[in-house]
Structure 1
Amino acid sequence: MKTNTLFKSSINVVVIVAMLFAAVHGTYIYTTTNIIELQNWWWLSHTYLFVATVLGLFFISAQYNKSKEIQSVGKAYLIFTTLKIVLSFVFLLPWLLMSKEIAKIFVGHFFLIFFPYLLVETILLIRFLNKPLDEKINTDEIQSRK
């Protein structure tokens, strides 16, 4: 499978997982909590993390296409994840500076969402790293049969 095809399928996976996760989380928020502020702002976390994840996949794919070295994928992922964590704290800063109870709940919900996105990114990275190896093994097998 070519890198562009793998990249497009990764974006599709992120879109589907994000939509399902947001639907479940939103349903949970509206059916179990009476906190109006949380009902009004829960979608911000999903929007931020979805955009960050898609941009990260673009960055990782671009780094790989630029260098064509598999090591560049790991380095790009590490840079992306570090940047995402720093930007997450910047994103959460207004709520971290609040002394209201809702701020703690919002930050908790954010990290409850953050880690599944991180898990999806890691699974996609592993899939991305394994594909070039699979292609190389198939090429070696074909050449050894000749």
Structure 2
Amino acid sequence: MINSNALNDYSNKIYEYLKKNDSKLLENISLQPSDFGKNHIFIELVTKNENSVSNLFLSSEDNQLTVGFDNYHCHFDSFSEQDFEEEMKIALDFFYKILNEELFVVCAGGGATTLLTNEEINIIESGKKLERFDYDCITYYVTSWSGNYDRVFKNAN
């Protein structure tokens, strides 16, 4: 159990949400120093994939919720009047879809990185473009949580 007094306000809000809605995830929690006063939350699941440059993580650093794995990360936060609970649900959905290998990190050579489903990766591999990831690069790199679905393929065009 974490002492909520050790957390900054934003991290405490995330901690309380997780405690209520996803307490199993808290088994992997650690506290890290924050630029916003007290500590922030860092939850990390260690991947067995030796090709991944980072583990799967969820962080409340800098008063924003971040989900990341390998070369990919995305921010979900309370800015711009976004609904906190909705943002938490979306962030946890991304987190678990990476963990369950429903989403894979795809890097288009020059650093453009996103999460795609296996079906979307197959579309790119066949030479077609995706509207939301239409990078025309030479090589694509796919990283999966387990490493079982990792692959590199050349642009078919």
TM over 0.5: no
Greater relative contact order (CA < 8 Å, ≥ 6 in sequence): 1
Structure that is richer in strand per residue: 2
Q: TM-score, normalised by structure 2?
A: 0.28
In our comparison, the structure showing a higher alpha carbon Rg is: 1
Structure that is richer in helix per residue: 1
